[in-house]
């Protein structure tokens, strides 16, 4: 829970940055599993920020497949929707935004998904 709060705080304070917080400087602070998860998340975020939306789609989906219980899956669903929106696949974007709203009601991401969905053509 603490990692999700830190991630969300960084996201909001960084002007909608899409990458998770960097691993701490203290060696061994994260397990190998957590470190690999961070690398996968950051890789997807970098592709999204670079405008490589098809590649970002694949990376976010792979992230969710590899880490099905990650706290970041809420964000991954949201960014999958944004990738589809930016690729002008509005039907799939709606489906994913609706998934965020249904699976994570009351979350900041559900609110963001609702706002994005209302702006779709």
What's the pLDDT tens digit per position in 47-69? 999 999 999 999 999 999 999 99
In the chain, % helix, strand, coil (3-state, to 5) comes to 70, 0, 30
Quick one: how far is CA 102 from the chain centroid?
16
The pTM of the full predicted model, rounded to 2 decimals, is 0.74
Residues of the chain with pLDDT under 50: 1-19, 21, 23-24
Fold classification of 30-119 is 1.25.40
Triad 110, 116, 117: Cα angle to 5°:
85
């Amino acid at each position: 829970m603490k990692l999700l709060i830190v991630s969300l705080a960084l996201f909001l304070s960084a002007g909608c940055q899409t990458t998770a917080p960097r691993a701490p400087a203290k060696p061994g602070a994260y397990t190998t599993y957590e470190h690999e998860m961070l690398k996968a998340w950051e890789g997807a975020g970098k592709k999204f920020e670079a405008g490589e939306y098809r590649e970002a789609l694949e990376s976010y989906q792979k992230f969710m497949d590899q880490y099905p219980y990650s706290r970041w899956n809420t964000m991954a669903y949201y960014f999958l929707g944004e990738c589809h929106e930016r690729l002008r696949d509005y039907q799939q974007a709606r489906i994913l935004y609706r998934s965020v709203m249904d699976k994570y009601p009351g979350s900041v991401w559900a609110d963001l998904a609702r706002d994005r969905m209302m702006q779709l053509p």
